[in-house]
Structure 1
Amino acid sequence: MTHARRCCLALAAALSLAPLAASAQDNESPYSWNITAVSDYLFRGVSQTDEDPTLQAGFTYTTPVGLYAGVWGSGVDFGPGDPNTELDYLIGYGVDVTDKVNVDVLLNRYTYLGASHQNYNELITTTTFAERYKLTVAYSNDVWNTRTDGWYFALGGQWPLPHEFSLNANVGRSTFEKGVAKDYTDWNVGVSRQFGLFNVGLGYYGTDSNGRYNSGKLADNRVMLSVGIGK
């Protein structure tokens, strides 16, 4: 079975939920969904698909009080054999603290089909200021299922450009205990534009020398293109 076919089969559960959300035309619908094609799946500056393109899909249900739950999937390629698919399960809560500040707390379960020894949990908090700036702090006590603590800190922003384009930028720092990997910095800058339900993005991503030491060419600087549809 080809890598692409395995990805499509593994994402079927998430994709099958998309029509349910698409049928809800109300802008206040509790359902949201997305299907995206990417030229590379980059996680904190590092390719998860051996620099190849893949499909990704997600589905989320949000309650009126801000609690939400969802599933997200993507093709991956870490070398010969499994896994070929990442499937994440998430539950979280988002609340507007003030008119300009939103706080979101998310528990994410990273799972890898056929390679459960790589599964792990991460708690991710995101604080959004004035709808443009985001501060992210994430923690796992078992990063990559290594029984090692791992932290991620990031600061990002998004700004409007002429002709309905947006400029976005982010810088993050990953730190680890017990020497499982070197602490490293990742960054990205890009532009995107919404066309109805479609979104197109183009960005430039990179890591510092420690990132490249950890992951080799998979952490090299690169351009990534994404084309998605969602609501």
Structure 2
Amino acid sequence: MKIAKLTLAAALLSALPFAAFAQDEEASPLTWSVAGVSDYVWRGVSQTNEDPTLQAGLTYSHDSGFYVGTWGSGVDFGPGDPSVEIDGFVGYNVDFSDSVNFDVMLNRYMYPDAGGLNFNELITKTTFADAYSLTVAYSDDFGGTDEDAWYFNAGGSWELPREFSLAAGVGYNMTDDALGDDYVDWNIGVSKSWGLFTAGLAYVGTDGSGKDMFGDLGDDRVVLTLSLGN
């Protein structure tokens, strides 16, 4: 979830591994990642009380485009449980053309010892020209509140000199039924890979509504990600 119940219910920038996009025939069907982040930020809001944590994911992808996987991270929504988020997901990825890719995924957010926070979310991501993306997500039980929520995000990624990459995005969270208001989140960051190792630095945050709802957890911040994976 990412938002503690009634209090606080993503490419390199410490997000869940959104699918294994089309792979070369020679590539392994398994992709994995292990990462350390200075703060687990989801849709502009800290999930770890602004503290660092470890994350890991594993995805199996079939040549047909179907994939299944899991991803986990430490979380801290305040005193008591949960301390861990474990996601399970299944999806399908397809190229509509040489320049348009479509991915649809059903993700289950799970919080051991805090099952009332568990919920499902249907997420679609359309990528254009390998650089621009549009994500639409919907849940009918956001954060275990039995309320609807929508999420829309437009993003882009670009190659920079010296093999650096730039990524940016802005999202709109329609959570008024579940959380009492809608808010905007945004991110911009740079990254660089050396073989299996990637380092990224991002500046993320929310608008005034996000800061009003989440306080310091929705403030603007810099997030460092160090990851290892294929």
Q: TM-score normalized by structure 2?
A: 0.88
2:227 aligned with 1:228: yes
Higher relative contact order (CA 8 A, sep 6+): 2
What letter is aligned with 1:200?
A
Between the two proteins, the alignment pairs up a number of residues equal to 206
Q: 1:18 — aligned with what?
A: none
Contact 2:117/2:144 (CA < 8 Å) preserved in 1? yes
Q: TM-score normalized by structure 1?
A: 0.88
Contact 1:111/1:119 (CA < 8 Å) preserved in 2? yes
Contact 1:161/1:167 (CA < 8 Å) preserved in 2? yes
Q: 1:101 — aligned with what?
A: 100
Deviations 1:25-56 (A, max 9, x none): x9511000000000000000000000000000
Deviations 1:9-40 (A, max 9, x none): xxxxxxxxxxxxxxxxx951100000000000
Contact 2:148/2:178 (CA < 8 Å) preserved in 1? no
In 2, the alpha carbon distance for the partners of 1:206 and 1:31 equals 33
Contact 1:95/1:104 (CA < 8 Å) preserved in 2? yes
Per the alignment, in what secondary structure is the counterpart of residue 179 of structure 2? Answer: coil
Structure 2, unpaired ranges of 5+: 1-24
2:140 aligned with 1:138: no
In 1, the alpha carbon distance for the partners of 2:175 and 2:220 equals 22
In 2, the alpha carbon distance for the partners of 1:125 and 1:209 equals 27
Q: 1:61 — aligned with what?
A: 60
Q: 2:70 — aligned with what?
A: 71
Contact 2:149/2:178 (CA < 8 Å) preserved in 1? no
Alignment of 1:1-231 (within 5 A): 27-178=26-177, 180-231=179-230
In 2, the alpha carbon distance for the partners of 1:137 and 1:181 equals 20
Q: Percent identity?
A: 56
Contact 2:111/2:117 (CA < 8 Å) preserved in 1? yes
| Structure 1 moving runs of 4+ over 2 Å | 176-181
What letter is aligned with 2:181?
K
Per the alignment, in what secondary structure is the counterpart of residue 80 of structure 1? Answer: coil
* Higher helix fraction (1 or 2): 1
* Cα displacement (A) at 1:179: 5.7
Aligned residues: CA RMSD: 1.0
* Cα displacement (A) at 1:214: 1.1
Q: 2:21 — aligned with what?
A: none
Per the alignment, in what secondary structure is the counterpart of residue 170 of structure 1? Answer: strand
* Cα displacement (A) at 1:81: 1.1
